[in-house]
Structure 1
């Protein structure tokens, strides 16, 4: 059965929603009277993460990009293309989820997530405009619809997102949340790791600064979507069955395999990146997202992060900020006439 879009305002219904999807609510949001009170803290964390792409200083990256090896430059452009193909549909998907959510708190949180995804996509345009010509920028963004490995990698998520847009059933909402949490919590991470690898060698630090902020946002998005999935499943126990759980696990396994294939393809020529270590890191991220959903791990040998060095750059669910945000040499600084804007 297809769900109807939530009404904007229905004063005959209570302010506190009777269900996350398919429920009744007046449309009036009182954060002191919501069905899941702890989500207010999530909303505050998301709002507190506000940043803008063009406030990050890229002047050193402009000078460094031509000095990267051909393999590093190619990986840089392809991975930016990948990230843009994943983040661009996230803005619309977040908005679509909010349209069918009958809980006004979910609507507000998804609105913030949608705005942040729009900033992420803008940031990819911003970093590319800083380091390559317009033709090369356009070519990088073409990868998402022309590169066969990337098309294969994104095929299933595209199919599910489109299925939800065309047929907004409870099952498609739950499946879309599974793919969204995979996207937020695992799909990006081999790409993120590449930029952190460059930063570890003191290369393209401005870009990795940007990636760290995107990374922090995505971790919060992944956490909320996982909680929303669990709460929706609890409210709709008919879907908490063996067939659906088997679909979730098989989707995770398939997504891990595709991510490993993509990372090997895009990173194989980059010096200093251990592809076996990367494979383990992808499985570790998948385990983490499964735990967030209250599910069992698929890869028991990768409970701990095998890529220890990345903790200096990547945020984690157990801490509020990463080591990165405490590093004065890599802190977030607004670009101005004084710190290099005119050099871009």
Structure 2
């Protein structure tokens, strides 16, 4: 595949049409009329995304503040490590979404990516918020350092880091497609063992505030993953010279590598947590990988894991009516808004 570099999209170019001639490397005036875009259904995605607006400090953490010290040591350790993991994934997503938008010549993609970047920033803020509710600043900092210091987490994130940085250094069409592959993995598979940990606590009536926060993050990530998968397919369709057997095999190989690394990380961080079946978690990770591959227009690679083996998660997530993502179609969970930071007036 060619590695000719793409130019950043111009902010305004009146000589070009309003409806872009291409998602990347096309021509567009930079003027966005949502009623005249190349992919009209993306307006619905934009509307769903902005409809998900929420703020971290609207979730009352008062009960979590009381409960954290009563968690087992294994649960406390996993809680802090998984928050550290999630923060290392969401922080670069803000930047990556913005970088993708800089090279997108379709103004609708730029707008959708702007919303996604904002939501990823909120997610990262939420991890700071929950930790500030329950542990000291020193412990917060240790959790956020894990992405730089924990050898298992470093290993797990190595390929993702390499590809994201490759896109920065060499903004080619190939690297955009590969970066979208890793973004789809991140939005659709990497987060989910961490999400499951917090839902498992909630089903034992522990740290319900945190799990409620996670459910809102989860809802956002489902939409992000859905859009990235569509963007990936549309970009390949517009650039068929990249739709090769070689690139398809690259995607499958990196999915398989990512699944193995996610299983290694999950086993490491969840092995001593009551209520989590590690074999079930392994199947769940493979199920999520299959799901993202289907959304990207590719075939499943784990034929024995086409069904969700962790159906108990259904009770701990929001109702995502439009997303239609299997086990996330349940009654909306209510959260208590608090006007005071972390709900300390309720202690």
SS at match of 1:302: coil
Structure 1 residues 71 and 52: alpha-carbon distance in aligned structure 2, compared to 1, 3 A threshold: same
Q: Is the 8 A contact 1:81 1:144 kept in 2?
A: yes
1:211 to 210, 214, 218: 214
The question of 1:256 aligning with 2:259 is answered yes
Partner of 1:291: 294
Q: Is 1:308 matched with 2:311?
A: yes
Distance 1:151 1:319, change over 3 A: closer
2:332 pairs, out of 326, 332, 341, with 326
- Equivalent in 279, 284, 289 of residue 282 of structure 2: 279
1:90 pairs, out of 82, 90, 93, with: 93
Matches for 1:160-179 after TM superposition, within 5 Å? 160-179=163-182
Are 1:201 and 2:207 an aligned pair? no
* 1:311 CA displacement: 1.7
Q: 2-side partners of 1:37 and 1:127: how far apart?
A: 38
Within a 5 Å distance, the mapping from 1:114-193 to structure 2 comes to: 114-193=117-196
Instruction: Give the superposed CA RMSD.
Output: 1.6
The verdict on how the C-alpha distance between 1:50 and 1:10 changes in structure 2, with shifts beyond 3 A counting, is same
- Does the CA-based 8 Å contact 1:312-1:324 persist in structure 2? yes
* Shift, 1:312, TM fit: 1.8
Distance in 1 (alpha carbons) for counterparts of 2:265 and 2:60: 30
State the TM-score, normalized to the length of structure 2. 0.96
User: 2:83–2:143: 8 Å Cα contact kept in structure 1?
Assistant: yes
Instruction: Please list every run of 5 or more consecutive structure 2 residues that lacks an aligned counterpart in the other structure.
Output: none
Instruction: Check whether the contact 1:335–1:341 (CA below 8 A) recurs between aligned residues.
Output: no
Find the residue that maps to 1:175 and give its secondary structure. helix
- Off by >6 Å, runs of 4+ in structure 1: none
Inter-partner Cα distance in structure 2 for 1:163 and 1:339? 39
User: Of residues 30, 34, 45 in structure 2, which corresponds to 1:31?
Assistant: 34
Query: What displacement does 1:333 show?
Result: 2.3
- Matched residue of 2:304: which SS? helix
Give the conservation status (yes or no) of the 8 Å contact 1:312–1:323: no
Q: TM-score by structure 1 length?
A: 0.96
- Which residue of the other structure, out of 51, 64, 67, is the alignment partner of 1:61? 64
Q: Distance in 2 between matches of 1:96 and 1:187?
A: 21
Deviation of 1:260 (Å) = 0.3
Shift in alpha-carbon separation, 1:21–1:339, aligned structure 2, 3 A:
closer
Contact 2:196–2:313 (CA<8 Å) still a contact in 1? Answer: yes
Distance 1:90 1:326 in 2: 26
- Please list every run of 5 or more consecutive structure 1 residues that lacks an aligned counterpart in the other structure: none
- Distance of 1:248 and 1:337 partners within structure 2: 46
Distance in 2 of aligned mates of 1:122 and 1:338: 13
1:60-99 CA-to-partner distances (Å, cap 9, x unmatched) read: 0000000000000000000000000000000000000000
1:324 deviation in Å? 5.6
For residues 274 and 103 of structure 1, the distance between their equivalents in structure 2, rounded to whole angstroms, comes to 44
Whether 1:7 and 2:10 are equivalent positions in the alignment is yes
Instruction: Assess if the C-alpha contact under 8 Å between 2:57 and 2:342 holds in 1.
Output: no
Distance in 2, matches of 1:271 and 1:321, equals 22
